[in-house]
Amino acid sequence: MKLKRIRIEQLRQFQHPLMVDNLQPGINVFTGPNESGKSTIASAIRAAFFERHRSSSVSDLQPWGDSSATPQVTLEFDWQDRHWRLEKRFLGRKRCDLEIAGVHYSGDDAEEQLADLLGFQHPARGASKAEHWGIPGLLWIEQGAGHELRPAVEHAADHLQSALGAGLGEVTSSGGDEIIQAVATQKAVFLTATGKPRGEFAKLPVQIAQQREELVGLETRIANYRQEVDRLSELRKQHAMDAREKPWQMLRQQQQAAEKALADVETLQQAQAVDQQALQSCQNTLILLREQLEAFQRQQQTLLQRQSAAQHAKQTLQALNEGNADINAEHQRAEKSYRQACHIAQQARQQEQAGRLLQELERLSRERVALDDRLEKAYRVQAELLEQRRALPCRRIDEPILDKLRKQHKQRDDLGIRLQSVATRLQYDILPDQAVELDGQALTMQGETLLLESGEMMIPGVGRLRIIPGGEDIGELSRRHRQLEEALKALFEQLEITSLAEAEQRMEVYQRLHIEIQANERLLSSLAPEGIDLLSQACESCKQQCETFSAQCRNSTVLAEEAPSLVDAEAQRTAAEQALKMAEKRQSDHQLALNGARRDAVNNDAELQRLQAELSAPDRQQRERELSQQLVEQRAEHASLEQRIANRQQRINAAQPVLLQQDVQRFARSAEQLEKAVHDRELALTELHSRLEAHSAEGLEEQRTECLLVCEQLERRYAEMQRRMAALSLLHTLLKEKRQALTQRLQAPLQRHLNHYLALLFPQASLSVDENLIPAQLTRTQTFGVEHGGLEALSFGAREQMGLISRLAYADLLREAGRPTLIILDDALVHSDAQRLEQMKRILFDAAERHQVLLFSCHPEDWCDLGVAPRDMQALKAAVNSPNLSITT
Amino acid sequence: MRLLHTADWQIGRQYGRFAPEDALALAEARFSAVERLARLATEQAVAAVLVAGDVFDAQTVSDRTVRRLFNAMQGFSGPWILIPGNHDAALAESVWHRAKRLGAIPTHVEVLLEPGVYAFPQSGIAVLAAPLTQRQTSADLTAWFDNAESPEGLLRLGLAHGSVQGQLADDIDSPNPIAAERAARARLDYLALGDWHGLKRIDERTWYSGTPEQERFKNNGAGQALIVDFEQSGQPPRVTAHQVGEFQWRQWQETLGVDSDIDRLIERLEALPAPAVLALNLAGDTDLAGHQRLIQALAEAEARHRSVQYDLSALRLQPTDADVAALDADGYLGDVIDELRAQQSLHDDEASRDALVLLAGLLRERLPQAASSAEESALGMGTLEREDNA
């Protein structure tokens, strides 16, 4: 399709007709500033095709403020070697005329021709919208819409599908998806989305398994039932045989024979038992008899023993009586010697006492002498002490006072010396008749006086001389001297002495006496530590004691003979006491033995007499003889019995009663066993029969048949379902596979064209296409590796570039399918950088080799290298204003 | 002097291979067959009905089944003379003992549980009965007939259950043998036999009556009973078969090649007397249109007959271009059809055939002139099943 000429009149800013002529088959660039009318040309082309001429909703096509205008577009183009001329007027004088190679269509007919040609739809009413635009909507890119691809492709989908399908010589399925959906729905009855059985299809295997299990159970029971029926018939057969043959009767006869033999033996055994009892009683009698005879003999022996015992007792008694006197004498001797020993011991004690008194007396005497001596000494010392104490100065001078005295004395002496040395020395040598008085005292002769203070010298006739000592503070010295003098004097008075020497002497006397007193005091205290009075008392008491003891000594009887020592005497006394005690014991023992012997003698005599009486009883002999006779008889009886028992035992042993007993038991038990077996069998028969009756009433086989019936029906249904499911699965898989294959076949050419353009932009990149033929995934080889991404993730500029590439690819595809292609780019690629724009221009140039392209741009400098001269809108409009001028390039 | 000879009633038999309602009806038919026998006996005014064993299908059928059987025999006042067969042998405990305990056996029914000669002077017959007292025996239970005495003046009839030796196909149970010449050797006027479910003449005096109600797909004369006429003393009886069975069991094997084969099959289906039990195995090829016609005809037959079971697994579906065009299967749907067709002929694959039918059905539904939905349901959950001979 080659657009040749566009004429626009009364349409938006083109109040006056605008004619665009000589359009090239390849690229055509229109440039101009904003609002110069580029987009109006694009809109006019759209309106000419899309809007119905009768539409009243296209008033936006009218120039501003001119509601009476009739927007008019005339297009002329070639398609398939035919010339098409379309003239469309809106609103005012609505009209549509289409002339195809001389054939004229008008109105709706014309519009349908156009829609078929380009592949779009007219709106049922109102203005045409994007969803009606079909293929032109895809190829005619509006301002700022270059990046939005998906809606445009979707709106063109049907046209693309049919156009491309036809191009490929294929027919896409008009209802394939519906069929797939229907198959999926039917399949979903059997399987869940994840392929698991569901609903009845899932339950059936379980039900079948249950039914099969029940069937097996029933079959087992039937098999049991049949076995039992067989057993019943077997039992009946046996029972009948038993009833006929009665095998237990034979055994019963054998049992009876054994019982008879056993009874015979038992008779013998009873007789044997009687004899054995007789033998036993015979033996007992014998024992009794022997015991009685033995008793008689024992009595005789006892008598003899008694007699000898009596004899013995008498002898003992006699012996004891004889020893009686000795024992008593011995006792008396012991008593006597004990008394003696006691007396001697008494004496020894007295002697001991006296000795001790004497010794004490001696000691006291010695003590008394010592005490007296000490007392005497003590009195002497005491007297001495008294003397000394008297001699001791009444006024004692202590050492410190003496020291003080000495010190003051010395000070006074020192002061005196100093006074003398410093005092105004008044040496005088008075003429004898002359009297000179000093302070009232007459100075005579030669002399020297020391003036310690001012003095007035009266020299008669002369007057008075006042001498005042100067120099050092003699006054002071003299004052102190006087003070000391006074203090000294006071001390002397106090001490009642007159001089220091006296004090010294007194001190010495005192000290000497003091030492002597101390010595004597110590002596005294050693002599009489508790004082003289006590000492004298002690002397007195000692003296009294001495007197007392000496009196005692004198009083104590002088013993005739010398007594032995107390220790020896005590020992002798103890020995005597011991001896006495032994003698006493012997005496009492003897008495006891004597009494015992006497009693024994009496008892023995009594017993002896009793025995003698018994033995000499008259019937005793008689009785003993009888017993002996009986003994002989019983022995004979015993022997005969033994013989008889032995004989009979032989017979019994020969008959073997134990074996006979066992035989009886054996036969009896065997018979019982058989009888019991028969009985049991009868019971079992009855029991089995009733059980079988019960079981047969259950109708097991009928149940089994019914169960099998259900089982088979379930299995058949399951098989049918499986079969249907298999068919559905197969169909579903196949439908999807084929659909996929077809989609891929359809996509292949588009893919090829896409990759052709893409290689110019991104070498080694590829763009995948989804099943709606929309480019979806871009794969690029970058420096760091392969990059995948959806188109939506790309930048605005890149998306616009991809959008253009895709549209060019669709255009190639449509062209191959023999469909008209016209590409209109209104202000495209404004977001591309210089480098990309270069590449995109190469792409556009390449596409323009096959398609007519109308490109509108406000950047003429960008598009000057496309090999065509851009048409300037201003120039076009200028041509409008001078309508005679035809615009050419 | 006329007798009715029947056998192998197999009361209590169930049919697992059929749909539940069909199975029930077929089980019921065994009782109604007995009623029809009673009616036949009455109509023919027979002296007695001889039942040669296998009256019950199993020993332990339910009490109700036992009672129902004897109730079904009310239509003929007797005597009915029954012996046990291998299915209902007179074991130590058997269905017969139970029937007696239940008091279900009416007085006009004689069950001969022990071998022996039983005289029925009122009917003018003496029956030498050889009942089975074991499930199986390898001895000829009729051997004693040869030397058995029977009252003078009464017809001497043998009644036995087993397989006559040398006469029947090898695949029949060979236990319970019966000598082929027993009737002659034992001087029997007639030997009534059971066990073989088809109608069979062994010799002029020895017959298998077959089961009165068919229960297998075997065309051997089952479903009848014999009327035995003794017209002249000493002469062989005149034996005539009478239809008793309600359902004809038919098994057809067909190979379809051309369209007219389908026409012929449809004609046969339409001609089949109702009610029948039909098993149909089809092989060969058909196109979608032919398949649709076939399914239609089968659906109609199903409605008319007791049971129509068909196995189409060996029938290949070969859609023609016309089929595909008619289905308007454009785009990849056409590919799918081609693929399924290829798979089918390659593997003889059941799933692809089914899938093809399914797809055809779905496509047809989409057509403005929507096809009948019968075929779809027939294909879907219908009785698509491979038959096997019971």
Please give the Cα distance from A714 to A708 (Å, whole number): 10
Mean pLDDT, to the nearest integer, of B305-309?
90
**What share of chain B in percent tops pLDDT 70?**
92
Q: Which amino acid is present at B126?
A: A
Summarize pLDDT for A379-407 with one digit per residue, the tens. 888 888 888 888 776 666 777 888 888 88
Q: Which of residues 204-233 of A touch B (CB under 8 A)?
A: 222, 225, 228-230, 232-233
Nearest CA-CA distance, residue A682 and chain B, Å: 15
In this prediction, residue B237 carries a pLDDT of 93
B322 is a domain residue: yes
- How far is residue A815 from each of residues A355, A357, A749, B92, B326, measured CA to CA in Å? 181, 180, 12, 97, 33
How large is the ipTM?
0.77
Q: CA A717 from chain center: how many Å?
A: 62
Residue A96 has phi, psi (to 5 degrees) of: -140, 125
B349 is a domain residue: yes
Summarize pLDDT for B68-89 with one digit per residue, the tens. 999 999 999 979 999 999 999 9
- If asked whether residues B172 and B144 sit together in one domain, one would say yes
Q: Is the pLDDT of residue A16 over 80?
A: yes
Contact assignment for A229 to B385 by CB distance below 8 Å: no
Summarize pLDDT for A743-788 with one digit per residue, the tens. 777 778 888 888 888 888 888 888 887 767 788 888 887 777 788 8
Residue A463: strand pairing partners: A459
Structure token pair of residue A855: 């490109």
Q: Is the pLDDT of residue A887 over 60?
A: no
Q: pLDDT band at B241, cuts 50/70/90?
A: very high
Q: Are B194 and B222 in contact (CB under 8 A)?
A: no
A169 interface with B at CB cutoff 8 Å: no
Nearest CA-CA distance, residue A723 and chain B, Å: 7
Q: Is the pLDDT of residue A835 over 90?
A: no
SS3 A84: strand
The closest CB to that of A692, out of B93, B333, B354, belongs to B93
B187 is a domain residue: yes
B350 is a domain residue: yes
Please give the Cα distance from B28 to A46 (Å, whole number): 82
Select from B213, B243, B273 the last residue of a domain. B243
More confident residue, A498 or A573: A573
Tokens 């009252």 sit on residue: B151
Q: Is the pLDDT of residue A883 over 60?
A: no
Q: Is the pLDDT of residue B190 over 90?
A: yes
Nearest CA-CA distance, residue B329 and chain A, Å: 7
In this prediction, residue A471 carries a pLDDT of 64
In this prediction, residue B128 carries a pLDDT of 94
Closest listed residue to residue A418, CA positions, set A360, A476, A333, A347: A476
Q: Which of residues 39-78 of B touch A (CB under 8 A)?
A: 57-63, 65
Summarize pLDDT for A294-333 with one digit per residue, the tens. 888 888 888 888 888 888 888 888 888 888 888 888 889 8
Summarize pLDDT for A343-379 with one digit per residue, the tens. 888 888 888 888 888 888 888 888 888 888 888 888 8
Looking from the CA of A489 toward its CB, the CA atoms found within 13 Å total 6
B387 is a domain residue: no
- Residue B200 burial class via C-beta count within 10 angstroms: exposed 0-12, middle 13-18, buried 19 and up: middle
Contact assignment for B60 to A713 by CB distance below 8 Å: no
Nearest-CA residue of chain B relative to A718?
B381
Q: Are strands A436-438 and A455-459 parallel, antiparallel or unpaired?
A: antiparallel
Summarize pLDDT for B247-301 with one digit per residue, the tens. 989 889 889 888 888 999 999 999 988 889 999 988 888 888 888 889 899 999 9
In this prediction, residue B373 carries a pLDDT of 42
B6 interface with A at CB cutoff 8 Å: no
Q: Is cis: bond before B79, omega within 30 of 0? A: yes
SS3 A77: strand
Please give the Cα distance from B290 to B305 (Å, whole number): 22
> Chains A, B: CB contacts under 8 A, how many?
161
B169 interface with A at CB cutoff 8 Å: no
Nearest CA-CA distance, residue A778 and chain B, Å: 28
In this prediction, residue B387 carries a pLDDT of 36
B311 is a domain residue: yes
Tokens 């109700």 sit on residue: B64
More confident residue, A22 or B161: B161
Q: Which residues of B touch A222 (CB under 8 A)?
A: 60
- If asked whether residues B234 and B109 sit together in one domain, one would say yes
- If asked whether residues B226 and B264 sit together in one domain, one would say no
In this prediction, residue A298 carries a pLDDT of 87
The closest CB to that of A172, out of B57, B97, B331, belongs to B331
Mean pLDDT, to the nearest integer, of A499-517?
82
A705 interface with B at CB cutoff 8 Å: yes
Annotation: CATH topology of A1-132+874-889: Rossmann fold (3.40.50)
Q: Which of residues 74-93 of B touch A (CB under 8 A)?
A: 91-93
Contact assignment for B58 to A702 by CB distance below 8 Å: yes
Summarize pLDDT for A676-694 with one digit per residue, the tens. 888 888 888 888 888 888 8
DSSP secondary structure code for residue A398 in this structure? -
CATH code of residue B34: 3.60.21.10
Helices B350-366, A176-188: crossing angle, 10 deg rounding: 120
> How high is the mean pLDDT of chain B?
85
Select from B243, B264, B292 the last residue of a domain. B243
Q: Which residues of A touch B336 (CB under 8 A)?
A: 731, 734-735, 738
Nearest-CA residue of chain A relative to B379?
A724
Q: Which of A171, A179, A728 to mutate to probe the B interface, most B CBs <10 Å?
A: A179
Q: pLDDT band at B390, cuts 50/70/90?
A: very low
SS3 A456: strand
Please give the Cα distance from A698 to A682 (Å, whole number): 24
Contact assignment for A701 to B384 by CB distance below 8 Å: no
- If asked whether residues B252 and B235 sit together in one domain, one would say no
Q: Are B302 and B374 in contact (CB under 8 A)?
A: no
- If asked whether residues B65 and B188 sit together in one domain, one would say yes
Least confident of A786-795, B293-302, B372-381: B372-381
Structure token pair of residue B284: 């060969």
- If asked whether residues B230 and B259 sit together in one domain, one would say no
- If asked whether residues B156 and B258 sit together in one domain, one would say no
Q: Which amino acid is present at B207?
A: W
Return the beta strands (E) in B143-194 as ranges. 155-161, 163-164, 177-178, 190-194
Closest listed residue to residue A743, CA positions, set A755, A751, A732, A754: A751
Nearest CA-CA distance, residue A738 and chain B, Å: 6
- If asked whether residues B232 and B255 sit together in one domain, one would say no
Nearest CA-CA distance, residue B261 and chain A, Å: 27
Mean pLDDT, to the nearest integer, of B132-136?
87
In this prediction, residue A58 carries a pLDDT of 83
Select from B201, B220, B243 the last residue of a domain. B243
Please give the Cα distance from A827 to A854 (Å, whole number): 10
- If asked whether residues B212 and B88 sit together in one domain, one would say yes
In this prediction, residue B259 carries a pLDDT of 83
- If asked whether residues B268 and B359 sit together in one domain, one would say yes
Q: Are B240 and B227 in contact (CB under 8 A)?
A: yes
In this prediction, residue A473 carries a pLDDT of 72
**Contact residues for A19 (Cβ-Cβ < 8 A; gap 6+):** A5, A6, A7, A879, A880, A886, A887
Q: Are B389 and B217 in contact (CB under 8 A)?
A: yes
Q: Which of residues 776-835 of A touch B (CB under 8 A)?
A: none
DSSP secondary structure code for residue B268 in this structure? H
In this prediction, residue A889 carries a pLDDT of 40
Summarize pLDDT for A414-468 with one digit per residue, the tens. 887 877 777 777 777 877 777 777 777 777 778 777 777 777 777 777 777 777 7
- If asked whether residues B203 and B112 sit together in one domain, one would say yes
Q: Is the pLDDT of residue B207 over 90?
A: yes
**What share of chain A in percent tops pLDDT 70?**
96
In this prediction, residue A888 carries a pLDDT of 44
Please give the Cα distance from B104 to B67 (Å, whole number): 6
Mean pLDDT, to the nearest integer, of A35-42?
85
Q: Which residues of A touch B23 (CB under 8 A)?
A: 709, 713
Q: Is the pLDDT of residue A522 over 50?
A: yes
- If asked whether residues B256 and B124 sit together in one domain, one would say no
Nearest-CA residue of chain A relative to B87?
A701
B388 is a domain residue: no
Helices (H) and strands (E) in chain A, counts: 18, 20
DSSP secondary structure code for residue A730 in this structure? H
Tokens 């236990």 sit on residue: B175
Q: Which of residues 274-303 of B touch A (CB under 8 A)?
A: none
Least confident of A160-169, A420-429, A850-859, B250-259: A160-169
Q: Is the pLDDT of residue A488 over 70?
A: yes
Contact assignment for A175 to B20 by CB distance below 8 Å: no
B37 is a domain residue: yes
Residue A540 has phi, psi (to 5 degrees) of: -65, -50
Q: Best-predicted range by mean pLDDT among A257-266, A470-479, A567-576, B28-37?
A: B28-37
Q: Which of residues 95-124 of B touch A (CB under 8 A)?
A: 95, 97-98, 101
Q: Are B48 and B120 in contact (CB under 8 A)?
A: yes
**Number of domains composing chain B:** 2
The 10 Å Cβ neighbour count of residue A772 is 14
Least confident of A102-106, A624-628, B195-199: A624-628
Q: Which residues of B touch A720 (CB under 8 A)?
A: 381-382, 384-385
**Contact residues for B62 (Cβ-Cβ < 8 A; gap 6+):** A699, A702, A703, B12
Q: Which residues of A touch B101 (CB under 8 A)?
A: 693
Q: pLDDT band at A556, cuts 50/70/90?
A: low
Q: Which of B336, B350, B376 to mutate to probe the A interface, most A CBs <10 Å?
A: B336
Q: Is the pLDDT of residue A172 over 90?
A: no
In this prediction, residue B224 carries a pLDDT of 93
Mean pLDDT, to the nearest integer, of A823-835?
85
Length of chain B: 390
Mean pLDDT, to the nearest integer, of A641-670?
88
Structure token pair of residue A645: 């028992």
Mean pLDDT, to the nearest integer, of A587-609?
87
Give the range of the structural domain holding residue B105, as residue numbers without chain letter.
Answer: 2-243
> How high is the mean pLDDT of chain A?
83
